[in-house]
Amino acid sequence: MTTEKIDSVSITTKANVFFDGKCISHAITTANGTKLSVGVILPATLTFNTAAPEVMECVAGFCEYKLDGSQDWVKSSAGEKFNVPGNSKFDIRVTEPYHYICHFG
């Protein structure tokens, strides 16, 4: 099931802009202290580094991703999630706007 709404949050109004504007997100903290970011990746192939484990949830569009150490690209569509280990990296390629929620920790 795709997350359509997140209630009772604090949002950082200044956007995080990465990769010359190919990825734009906003940091969110829920009432219970959970950290998230909500954003869009525009068509590109990008590499992200992680400090803490992350769960990438596709809200709209789709992406293909490749986890560190893997040779395989895996498709993730709306309503699907994928896990990224902490202290790692992953490649993501997008051919249409990919709307996501990144769950940290």
- Per-residue pLDDT tens digits for 11-67: 999 999 999 999 999 999 999 999 999 999 999 999 999 999 999 999 999 999 999
Secondary structure of residue 20 in the 3-state scheme:
helix
> In this structure, are residues 101 and 60 in contact, taking their beta carbons and an 8 Å threshold?
no
Where do the domains of the chain lie?
9-104
Which run of H or E residues covers position 76?
Answer: strand 74-77
DSSP-based three-state secondary structure for 27? strand
28-40 tens-digit pLDDT: 999 999 999 999 9
Residue type, 64: E
Instruction: With a cut of 90, say whether residue 2 has pLDDT above it.
Output: no
Q: Which residues pair with 102 in a beta bridge?
A: 37, 56
- At the second CATH level, the architecture of 9-104 is Sandwich (2.60)
Copy the structure tokens of residue 59.
């809200």
